[in-house]
Each structure stands twice: as C-alpha cells, then as structure tokens.
C-alpha cells in the first residue's frame, strides 16, 4: 500500500511538471526619423585682397563673415572690400536632435579664371563648431577658412571647385 501511495505521488509530481508551461507575447516597434539634410544658401567669398610682391600671407575668414589677415604682413585688406561672405548652409531634420559636422580635412585649390595660377583655402571652421542642435528641426550653419596667398599672386578672380560639408545625426 505504501508503494502504491508513493507511486501515485511520484507520478502526480511528474504530471505537474510536464504541464508547468507559460507563454508571454511582445511586439516590435521602430521609429523612422526625418532624414537629415543640408542645403547651401551662400558660397564662401574672401573679397578683395591686396598682395605683397615679396611676402606671402593669409586671409582668415571667420564663420561670422568677418575677415582678418595673418601675422606675416603679406596681404592687406583694401577699404573696397568686395563681396565678403562665409559659406552658409541650412540643416534640416528631426526637432531637438543633435548632429555632427564634418568639414573638409584638406585644403581646396582656387584657380585664377583664364589662367593656371592657384591658391589654397584650408583650416575650415564652422558655427556651430563640431556639433549642432536642430531646434524646431532646423539650424543655420556657417563655414569660414584661411586663404593662403602667395607673394606676388597674379591679379584676377580665383575660384575653387566644390568642397563638402557633411552632417550626420549623433
């Protein structure tokens, strides 16, 4: 009799374990955010620059659109400034998101129209610097650079090819 009771207890225990199963469910969700975009609103222009016949120099164009000369004395900025402008862009995307700014890492070459003479622009800077915030989904971005002018640089209008400014969500 003890064996029969013990056998029933053991078999009942196995039956409980084999039916002790539970199931839960879950869902999957993904949110697609507005793609980030950048569009140019103004090209960069260093304006009129006067050069020394014997000394090279630099013109530093700030993202705010102001310019100064480097310390070497090889260039001066005439009172007739011409068009002076930092490159300007509008960045659009998801409101309140931050984004990284990538500026050209190497200088761009400016070539004289109807000629082969060149200068370079490099050391690009921006406002905002490094990271921007899309307040209400948009932000203005301005870019400046340093123009390297050779001694006795030939007079004329110098223009570069395109340079890239890249933005990516953080």
Residue of 138, 149, 166 lying closest to 47 (CA atoms):
149
- Bridge-based pairing of strands 37-42 and 75-76 is unpaired
For residue 3, the model assigns a pLDDT of 62
pLDDT tens per residue across span 50-86: 999 999 999 999 999 999 998 778 999 999 999 999 9
| The two three-digit tokens of residue 18, written as one number | 């084999």
Residues 6+ apart with CB under 8 A from 142: 63, 64, 65, 86, 87, 88, 89, 126, 127
Cα separations (Å) of 108 from 44, 114, 146, 147? Answer: 12, 18, 10, 10
Residue of 96, 92, 98 lying closest to 135 (CA atoms):
96
pLDDT tens per residue across span 96-107: 999 999 999 999
pLDDT tens per residue across span 113-141: 999 999 999 999 999 999 999 999 999 99
Mean pLDDT for all residues in the chain: 92
Indicate the pTM of the whole model. 0.84
């Amino acid at each position: 009799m003890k064996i029969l009771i013990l056998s029933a207890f053991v078999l009942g225990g196995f039956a409980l374990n084999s039916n002790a199963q539970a199931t839960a469910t879950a869902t999957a969700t993904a949110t697609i955010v507005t793609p980030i975009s950048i569009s140019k609103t103004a090209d960069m222009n260093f304006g009129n620059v006067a050069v020394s016949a014997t000394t090279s120099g630099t013109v530093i164009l700030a993202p705010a659109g102001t310019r100064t000369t480097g310390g070497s004395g090889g260039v001066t900025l005439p009172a007739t400034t011409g068009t002076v402008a930092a490159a300007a862009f509008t960045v659009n995307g998801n409101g309140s998101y931050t984004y990284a700014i990538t500026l050209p890492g190497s200088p761009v070459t400016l070539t004289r129209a109807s000629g082969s003479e060149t200068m370079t622009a490099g050391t690009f800077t921006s406002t905002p610097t490094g990271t921007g915030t899309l307040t209400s989904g948009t932000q203005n971005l301005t870019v400046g650079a340093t123009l390297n002018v050779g001694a006795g640089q030939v007079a004329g209008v110098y223009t570069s090819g395109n340079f890239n400014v890249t933005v990516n969500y953080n």
